[in-house]
Amino acid sequence: MLVLKKLNNYLLLLVVFLLPLQTRYIWRAGMLNNGPFEYGTIALYGLDLLILLALLIGLVIDFFANKENFKNRKYWIAILAMGIVACLSLFEASDKRLVLYGLGKLAVSVGLFWLIYTNSLTSKKIMATFLLAVALQGAFAGWQFNQQTTPANKWLGLAQHTSTDLGASVVETTAKDGHSERWLRAYGSFDHPNMLGGFLALGLLMAIWLLINTPVGQKQKTKEMFLSLAIILGVTGLFLSFSRAAVLAFGVGLTILFISQLKLWPRLILSAFLVVIVSATLSYQYGYLYASRAKNIAVSDIDKRLEAKSISERIEYLNQAKTLIKTHPLLGVGLGNFGITVSKKITLKQISYYYQPVHNVFYLVASEIGLLGLACLLLLFGLLIMASLKINSINCLPLAMIAGLITIMMLDHWLWSLHFGVIFFWVILGLSFKIILENKKVVLN
């Protein structure tokens, strides 16, 4: 049994470290109106196999140890209810295979959530492994932006992007000399820069919290240096992703951390210094690119073109979501069926990449699994937030991460619509719940 526990620990840490890995086997390539459609693609990810293996070993250990790891019933009732509603959405779906695929992703992700908070590893060890991935992604993002390209590698799940590619995520602006510029945003190893930004934003909250709470002393120098490096590289990658939602999420979470930990001001100052100095250095060179990402700052036509297009599309997706919610209020149109339903019932005969999910997870959940599913999700958040508010302010990280997560959910869709997003969502909830459980002042039942 001891061997199984060690193997399970190593597998969980490997899963956490490999979260950014997007290697997959495409079972069914999504097609819509004779064009490629990512949100209709069904694939098996390499990470899923590791999670399933770790989950199987974890269940075996749990069975023989006779633990009561499901005793926090009110949380599991909310999760189970959301799963049941998602299953019922199958009867409303245009593409039932997408619902089954979505249910599989949800089951694997919830299993990882359970594995994280029940595992014998401490939350700090899991976060330290997470931060190794943060540091690597930040360094990779810096290299990508400097080279203005992302290399393709099928074994690492990397797709090639350049600033000249149509459809690539770029920042268009006018330089000081009057010439137009087109800069490729950093992707890391992800499918979109916003995903890189969200990953780094939540990772930075972990790194800063750990640094603030690291005791001062000679024995802690190595840990302090590692956390400082993770913050420097994380801020670099976050900046170069040019993700407004991720930057805002980081700002919201960081505000909660700082307000709740003012007593630990020496470490607070060090953390703030690292964030400010890296941001200021990058802003000196590339700050003008952020101007074109701000609606009210853009002053030229080229600055406004992509941002105006982005805003108009978001408004259109929001109106589509409202229409679907009105016509399918209780069970939605089926898990993963937002784009397909829009193509059949609202806006017909558009090119495939037109059909994007609404850039708000709460509207997207209500559209796909109905208001009942949304109520279950909100109940889960409510329970976690109330538990977070009860613990000592030193352990404010769960509240900061949940606040950051909700911020991203209000401005983007990938935490619900894409494979990594679903996994990442439940990893953050699992870590938050684990920290809450580790705090002895809170009794959950």
Which pLDDT does position 270 carry in this prediction?
Answer: 86
| Positive/negative CA dihedral, 156, 157, 160, 161 | negative
Q: Which are the contacts of 201, defined by CB distance < 8 A and separation ≥ 6?
A: 238, 243, 246, 247, 249, 250, 253, 404, 408
pLDDT at 297 over 70: no
Q: What is the pLDDT of residue 168?
A: 83
pLDDT of residue 299 exceeding 70: no
Residue type, 39: Y
Q: Within 10 A of 302 (CB to CB), how many other CB atoms are there?
A: 15
The overall longest dimension of the chain from CA atoms, in Å, is 70
Comparing 23-27, 91-95, 298-302, 420-424, the range with the smallest average pLDDT is 298-302
Give start and end residues of each alpha helix (H) in 119-220.
Answer: 123-147, 193-212
The whole-number average pLDDT for the span 427-433 is 96
pTM of the model: 0.93
Summarize the confidence of residues 382-390 as an average pLDDT: 92
Question: Which residues 6+ apart lie within 8 Å of 33 measured at CB?
Answer: 343, 349, 350, 351, 352
How far is residue 356's CA from residue 35's CA, in Å, rounded to a whole number?
13
pLDDT above 90 covers what percent of the chain?
Answer: 68
**For 108-162, how does the pLDDT look when each residue is reduced to its tens digit (9 = 90+)?**
999 999 999 999 899 999 999 999 999 999 999 999 999 998 888 888 888 888 8
So what's the pLDDT on residue 307?
62
Using the CB atoms, write b or e for 15-51: b if 16+ within 10 Å: bbebbbbbbbeeeeebebeeeebbbbbbbebbbbebb
Integer angstrom CA distances of residue 277 from 41, 145, 306, 341 = 42, 19, 30, 47
Residue 210's pLDDT band (boundaries 50, 70, 90)? very high
pLDDT of residue 37: 93
Rounded Cα distance between 38 and 18, Å, is: 22
Whole-angstrom Cα distance, residue 256 to residue 400? 6
Which of these ranges, 63-67, 346-350, 356-360, has the smallest mean pLDDT? 63-67
d(CA 441, CA 194): 36
Q: Per-residue pLDDT averaged across 185-199, rounded? A: 95
Label residues 157-190 b or e (16+ Cβ within 10 Å = b): bbeebebeeeebbbbbbbeeeeeebebbbbbbbb
Residues in the chain: 445
Domain boundaries, the chain: 67-438
CA distance 168 to 191: 10
User: Could you give the CA distance from residue 74 to residue 117 in angstroms, rounded to a whole number?
Assistant: 15
Which residue in 106, 187, 133, 189 sits closest to 16, CA to CA?
133
CA distances to 67, 340, 433, 443 from 123, rounded to whole Å, are 19, 40, 10, 18
pLDDT in tens, 11-46: 999 999 999 999 999 999 999 998 999 999 999 999
Q: What was the pLDDT predicted at 11?
A: 96
Long-range pairs of 50-56 with CB within 8 A, sequence gap ≥ 24: 50/11, 50/14, 50/15, 50/18, 51/15, 51/108, 51/111, 51/112, 51/115, 51/423, 52/108, 52/111, 53/11, 54/8, 54/11, 54/12, 54/15, 54/112, 54/115, 55/108, 55/111, 55/112, 55/114, 55/115
Model pLDDT, residue 298 = 41
Using CA atoms, how far residue 279 sits from 174, 204, 276, 284, in Å, is 21, 13, 5, 9
Lowest mean pLDDT among 42-46, 100-104, 288-292, 406-410: 288-292
Q: What's the pLDDT at 265?
A: 74
Note the pLDDT of residue 63.
Answer: 74
pLDDT at 443 over 50: no
Between vectors from CA 157 to CA 156 and to CA 163, what angle results, nearest 5°? 110
Distance CA 313, CA 358 (A): 9
CB 394 within 8 A of CB 261: yes
Q: Is the pLDDT of residue 208 over 90?
A: yes
Q: Residue 10: CA atoms inside 13 Å, Cβ hemisphere, count?
A: 6
- How many Cβ atoms from other residues are within 10 Å of residue 334's Cβ? 27
- For the chain, the average pLDDT equals 89
Question: In terms of DSSP H, where are the helices of 174-263?
Answer: 193-212, 221-241, 244-260
Question: What separation in angstroms does the CA of 354 have from each of 30, 37, 38, 416?
Answer: 14, 9, 11, 18
pLDDT digits over 235-294, tens only? 999 999 999 999 999 999 999 998 888 777 777 888 899 999 999 999 988 888 887 666
Indicate whether 175 pLDDT > 70.
Answer: no
- Within 10 A of 205 (CB to CB), how many other CB atoms are there? 27
Q: Is 401 helix (H, G, I), strand (E, B) or coil?
A: helix
| Angle, vertex CA 42, rays to CA 39 and CA 44, nearest 5 | 130
Q: What is the CA radius of gyration of the chain?
A: 22
For residue 217, the model assigns a pLDDT of: 66
Question: What is the pLDDT at residue 156?
Answer: 83
163 band by pLDDT with thresholds 50, 70 and 90: confident
